[in-house]
Amino acid sequence: MRTDRLRAAYQIEFRYTLFPLHPDTPDEGLSLEQLFAGRSYDIDAAQARLATLMAEEGLPYGQRTMTYNSRLAQELAKWAETQRGGEGVHDAMYRAYFVDGLNIALADNLMTVVRQLGLPEDEAREVLASRRFQVAVDADWQRCRNLGINAVPTFVVGNNVVVGAQPYGVLESLVLNGGAAKR
């Protein structure tokens, strides 16, 4: 992935800021047809474009037909980031959602990710039940609003912003303009 190449070439650290993508989606999810109803949006063309972009990055991508509310998954991810072995949570969530089509609004489904990462399932369930990381996710969502972020991925370095899946050179310029040193 481009971000892995950047990490290997420059002394940089990525920090995930979670984004409220369709936060009003009900827990049972919506079909993509329901989500985009009334808009002139070609779902098949968008899926094909995403599949091509993911293939270019060497990422798997499934034929997604549903969208799910990611709020609980984001709270779980914030917790996982604090746990030894939790650094792979974002990749695991990507796979669960975009490859396996898992409904990540459901706590039981999120335990699949917890088990894959080898994190304590009982603690993960408590985190979700107590909503202990709700404030942290709220802060991320507010940061997105403050920065005017309305799409993913968005890369922010200092006051510079790059939106969307960009070529490596664009991302490299972003980190260089931000003062990143080579390794």
> Residue type at 174?
L
Residue 138 lies in a domain: no
**Tally of structural domains, the chain:** 2
- Structural domain span for residue 11: 1-17+149-183
Q: Using an 8 Å Cβ cutoff, are 128 and 148 in contact?
A: no
Residue 143 counted as domain residue:
no
Per-residue burial over 54-87, b = 16 or more CB atoms within 10 Å of its CB, e = otherwise? beeeebebeebebbbbbbbbbbbbbbbeebeebe
Say how far apart CA 32 and CA 44 lie, in whole Å. 10
Asked whether residue 142 is assigned to any structural domain, the reply reads: no
State pLDDT tens for residues 117-175.
Answer: 999 999 999 999 999 999 999 999 999 999 999 888 899 999 899 998 888 999 999 99
Give tens-digit pLDDT for 9-54. 999 998 999 998 899 999 999 999 999 999 999 999 999 998 998 8
Peptide bond into 167 cis (omega under 30): no
Nearest one of 47, 101, 36, 113 to 74, comparing CA atoms: 113
Q: Is the pLDDT of residue 107 over 90?
A: yes
Considering the domain architecture, whether residues 85 and 154 belong to the same structural domain is answered as: no
- For residues 43 and 117, membership in a common domain is answered with yes
92/28 same-domain check: yes
Q: Answer yes or no: do 62 and 84 share one domain.
A: yes
Same domain, 124 and 183: no
User: With 90 as the cut, is the pLDDT of residue 3 above it?
Assistant: no
In this model, does residue 56 exceed pLDDT 90?
A: no
Q: Is residue 141 part of a domain?
A: no
Same domain, yes or no: 52 and 22: yes
Q: Do 39 and 128 sit in the same domain of this protein?
A: yes
96 and 181 belong to one structural domain = no
Q: Is residue 139 part of a domain?
A: no
Tell whether 49 is covered by a domain: yes
| 115 and 61 together in one domain | yes
